[in-house]
Structure 1
């Protein structure tokens, strides 16, 4: 039986494909985790409320001008063209208070001491203690508003924790990327080790370096493309499974940015495959015969 002829650029690629797919999946997972974390932070900030209490003697006719002045402020969040300002009557506030505390103040008070109020959601850029203080002062300067309140010091605490999380995640992602690139480079180099004699034989018969390198580079690009597509598919499946089991995660999804991450994975896979293959092949092109053995 005739021995099968070995073809340039053909080498055991299953290990490379598997390793690259796992590596890209981990990189993509870190990217999705960072994206979801950023969206979660934005969601928390945009749902943070400042409560504005109106004067006790104000009526509905006077409350309308107050509302118009509030929604005209630049720090008020706008979603789908609507300012995020909600009116809460004193009766509704009383019901909320009783539901939360389980104590009915109406049993020992003849009057409802609570005020009508507006609950204002702020733009993300104003999620800082200094800016919130300025917002509070600006709101209290509006005629008809008795007080503006928010949970002081909570914002700075949240921002500090968020910054710590970002630093840890960034450091972890950078270290992971470096480790993965080094591992992939070594894996491809080991896979090409079996082709070193074939490369030297082609050099001896006069083949140029470009002719020898081309099929290996094409194989590296193809493996990177395939690994990127598989890793992207696994990430999409993981994401859909997470949303299916936790429907609350749907508000954190950003399809355009997710698509950009998946596209970047494919490009990164092709880049790693090309560069690592190029380095490995050129290493064997430049070694002496003694070093090959």
Structure 2
């Protein structure tokens, strides 16, 4: 004989599972955005402007050029990577030979390359127009032969990044709408099973506030539990990915991950409270005949 449900029973597990699934998907979109922004930042930090020096420039002249470049506002300020690196013509020749597998010195008889400084540029100056101006400014320095960078690369990266963020934002917005509707319908079904209990409370004189209070508190707790479970799933997924995907650890920003989990928790509570309140209000105003 099937077990009968108790009067006033409430599908807590179903609601929490729906909230967890919904909040996890939203949190996953947020995690993708955080890591994509970090990836773009790393890419930008590795873009260099190469400052080639005159061949006859002395060591004192090289230091003079370096001292002029160092305080420039467009030079990357970072403790993680060296913003300015000196590359001798011998090191440049070795890099070229290692990359092409061809030793040009054997038929030229000399090394035609130049000593250079490789300058990393701050993200605020990562635009084609600003890089062009930096190139002009550096070429005015005494002892500088030529300044080279990958032209149009900045604009191409910025254009592609904008497209990626637009796609992610659109996907997150669509998912948010679908998820809110899904959770709202789940809670609405749960409240539907309570409609006669709600009417019984009204008949014995309970006010709307008195009736709503325990349901809204329950909705807040369910949202909090769903958010906590979704946060745990996000952290677990992140740790599994770090262990199995090489280089992914460098993209992690744990302070932003903590903020994301906090947002998921807050969103869970807001959705739980709002959906419960909206569904309750409908049944509190409903006529007796409509309950059937």
Residue number in structure 2 paired with 1:163 = 162
Specify whether residues 99 and 75 from structure 1 end up closer, same or farther in structure 2 by C-alpha distance, changes over 3 A only. Answer: same
- State yes or no: 1:41 paired with 2:71: no
Aligned to 1:203: 202
SS at match of 1:87: strand
Residue number in structure 2 paired with 1:126: 125
Map of 1:94-113 to 2, 5 A cutoff? 94-113=93-112
Q: If the length of structure 2 is used for normalisation, what is the TM-score?
A: 0.96
Matched, 1:78 2:74: no
Matched residue SS, 2:145: strand
What corresponds to 1:243 in structure 2?
242
**Partner-residue secondary structure (3-state), 2:86:** strand
Cα distance between partner residues in 2 of 1:38 and 1:81 = 17
Q: Distance in 2 between matches of 1:180 and 1:91?
A: 60
1:92 aligns with 2:91: yes
Query: How far 1:6 sits from its partner (Å)?
Result: 3.4
For residues 113 and 262 of structure 1, what CA distance do their matches in structure 2 show?
56
Which residue of structure 1 aligns with residue 213 of structure 2? 214
User: 1:226 is matched with which residue?
Assistant: 225
Query: What 5-or-longer segments of structure 1 have no aligned partner?
Result: none
Deviation at 1:4, TM superposition (A): 8.4
1:16 has 2:15 as partner = yes
What is the root-mean-square deviation of aligned Cα atoms in Å? 1.4
**Deviations 1:39-63 (Å, cap 9, x if unpaired)?**
1111111111111100010121211
Query: C-alpha displacement at 1:140, in angstroms?
Result: 0.5
Q: Which moved more, 1:39-48 or 1:244-253?
A: 244-253
Which secondary structure state, in structure 2, belongs to the residue aligned with residue 104 of structure 1?
A: coil
Distance between the aligned counterparts of 1:115 and 1:269, measured in 2?
Answer: 60
Once the two structures are TM-superposed, the CA of residue 94 in structure 1 deviates from its matched residue by 0.4
Q: Which runs of 5+ in 2 are unaligned?
A: none
Match of 1:142 in 2: 141
CA distance in 1, matches of 2:79, 2:216: 49
CA distance in 2, matches of 1:203, 1:123: 65
Q: How many residue pairs were aligned?
A: 289
